[in-house]
Amino acid sequence: MLKDIVAAEALSGYRLRLRFEDGVSGVVDLVDRISFRGVFEPLRDSTYFALVRVDPELGTVVWPNGADLDPDVLYGAITDTPVLAG
């Protein structure tokens, strides 16, 4: 797929509003997609979760501690298409 994320906004309830380079946009609920352990543990704090930004080099969302998410998985969640294993 390889669709880069170009815009991200943190919403309440551990959701992200995302826009991809091809114009596809939508909201992804992360509550059941991440474990909030390890590198993702700080995201449990909604104030920290809101610090999400887009890293243009990686083409995905990142947080200050280096946590990031696979943009293909997020694209698949928004478009309801499975991500095929390579």
Q: What is the pLDDT of residues 21-51, one digit of tens each?
A: 999 999 999 999 999 999 999 999 999 999 9
Instruction: Say what the pLDDT of residue 84 is.
Output: 67
User: Average pLDDT over the chain, rounded to whole?
Assistant: 94
Neighbouring C-beta atoms of residue 25, cutoff 10 Å: 13
Q: Is residue 54 part of a domain?
A: yes
Q: Is residue 86 part of a domain?
A: no
Q: Is residue 85 part of a domain?
A: no
The model's pTM: 0.92
Q: Residue 62: which CATH number?
A: 3.30.2020.10
Instruction: Say what the pLDDT of residue 73 is.
Output: 94
Instruction: Say what the pLDDT of residue 2 is.
Output: 74
CA dist 67 and 11 (Å) reads: 18
Q: Is residue 13 part of a domain?
A: yes
Q: How many domains does the chain have?
A: 1
Average pLDDT over residues 64-69: 98
Q: Is residue 84 part of a domain?
A: no
Residues with Cβ < 8 Å from 34, sequence gap 6 or more?
14, 40, 43, 69
Q: Residue 32 sits in which domain range?
A: 5-79
